[in-house]
Structure 1
Amino acid sequence: MNDEYFTDRVLLTPLTLDHVDELHRVYGDPRTWQHLPSGRHADRGQSAQAIERAAQSRREHGFGMNAVRLREPVGELAPGGFVGSAGANMLPFGAWNLGYRFAPEAWGHGLALEAARLSLAAATEAAPDAPVTARVLANNPASIRVLERLGLDLAWRGTSSDEPADAHDTTHLERLVFTDRALDDDLLEAVIALG
């Protein structure tokens, strides 16, 4: 299992509980959740749970979400700084869930695409038979562009409910599902049901 993935500009290393404050700085920032305010981490405990899920995915499937640090200056950002997370966690039904979230000061430099490209390759290497999927809200054009530039295909667009079941339910919002290969109907329905 590889513990580091890198380009000239970014370094991805496994998220650990040592990253909880840095991850919470990004995931607790309302600006990083402008497309889904209810997703913001309200406390460090939520960020710690996200790290635990990443660690479990890595232990069981060889890859998970990662800390993203800069290897060289990017704009006003200094090397070594934690700028976000990127990677993929394995879902319970055998598909990867590709994701990335960056601090606002890191936006606009192509870092999400760079880190997502590394993550896609690493997930595919860790479990080649598992499809890589990504879910995005229709009101997030920047993230949609990243997924399109990765070469993922749009597998579904729509809503799966009329009303939210609770404050964290996103099934009533228009969403898109991207994937690196064709999904059978059951697998696609399972991804859609995640919201």
Structure 2
Amino acid sequence: MSDELVRTERLVLTRPVPADVDDVFALYSDPAVWEHYPSRRHTHRGATEELLAHVEESWQVIGLGSWVARDAEGRLMGTGGCDLRLGLAWNLGYRLARDVWGRGLAQEIVRAGIAASQRVRPDIAVTAYLLAGNARSKAAAERAGLDLVWTGPDAGNPDPDAVRLLYADRPLSRIVVRELTAT
């Protein structure tokens, strides 16, 4: 099965296409899904177009990027998967519509992302880089079998008290941790 289309128990994960922009913008512009980082909310469609262009570049260059996650009827549930961060580590991520939180869909995306990253480049660590106050993401990383490898300030966050956590599926060198947490 191509990593561009993956089926989980309840989701169809596909490589984003231009027709996905409006649905993804609706998700990324919803303040409810940005409770832990409101300044990252998309306030104009161009931000979503830039995000999807970055994801497309990842697919073209590396052969893997985030997916658009839809249910069997085609309704957007969210986005997520693995993206290569700074060429150093796979970063697990997902953003789900608020009305589908708590149903285990994040875990389906996380499992699919880990499996795809291991098919594409198993030599690269899988990580999750998240805000300490995001209990759902923390639980998802831990359920995925990732271990906490670093805690520290969130570089670039407008909230000076924000703390980031870095989880990984294997030990990371100090250099890799420094690079991953500096941006």
Give the TM bin, normalised by the shorter chain: over 0.9
Q: Distance in 2 between matches of 1:169 and 1:124?
A: 34
> Aligned pair in 2 of structure 1 residues 29, 11: CA closer, same or farther (>3 Å)?
same
- Tell me the residue number matched to 1:178: 167
- Tell me the residue number matched to 1:62: 63
- Choose from 103, 106, 109 the match for 1:109: 103
Written as runs of structure 1 = structure 2, the 5 A alignment for 1:1-195 is 1-71=2-72, 79-159=73-153, 169=158, 172-194=161-183
> Aligned pair in 2 of structure 1 residues 70, 135: CA closer, same or farther (>3 Å)?
same
CA-atom RMSD in angstroms = 1.6
Q: The residue matched to 1:63 in structure 2 has which SS?
A: coil
Displacement of 1:87 in angstroms is: 1.1
Q: The residue matched to 1:50 in structure 2 has which SS?
A: helix
TM-score normalised by L of structure 1: 0.88
> Aligned pair in 2 of structure 1 residues 188, 150: CA closer, same or farther (>3 Å)?
same
Q: Distance in 1 between matches of 2:114 and 2:29?
A: 25
Q: Distance in 2 between matches of 1:25 and 1:47?
A: 9
Q: Distance in 2 between matches of 1:68 and 1:22?
A: 11
Displacement of 1:170 in angstroms is: 6.1
Percent sequence identity is 35
Is this contact kept in 1: 2:9–2:108, CA < 8 A?
no
- Alignment-mate amino acid for residue 92 of structure 1: L
User: May I ask how many residue pairs the two structures share in their alignment?
Assistant: 182
Displacement of 1:160 in angstroms is: 5.6
Q: Distance in 2 between matches of 1:169 and 1:191?
A: 18
Displacement of 1:94 in angstroms is: 2.6
Displacement of 1:169 in angstroms is: 4.8
Q: The residue matched to 1:187 in structure 2 has which SS?
A: helix
- Tell me the residue number matched to 1:75: none
Q: Deviations over 1:133-159 (max 9, x none)?
A: 111111110111011001111111121
Is this contact kept in 2: 1:157–1:175, CA < 8 A?
yes
- Alignment-mate amino acid for residue 8 of structure 1: E
- Alignment-mate amino acid for residue 172 of structure 2: L
> Aligned pair in 2 of structure 1 residues 183, 19: CA closer, same or farther (>3 Å)?
same
- Tell me the residue number matched to 1:76: none
Is this contact kept in 1: 2:33–2:95, CA < 8 A?
yes
- Alignment-mate amino acid for residue 134 of structure 1: A
TM-score normalised by L of structure 2: 0.93
> Aligned pair in 2 of structure 1 residues 151, 158: CA closer, same or farther (>3 Å)?
same
Unaligned runs of 5+ in 2: none
Displacement of 1:15 in angstroms is: 1.2
Q: Distance in 1 between matches of 2:139 and 2:75?
A: 25
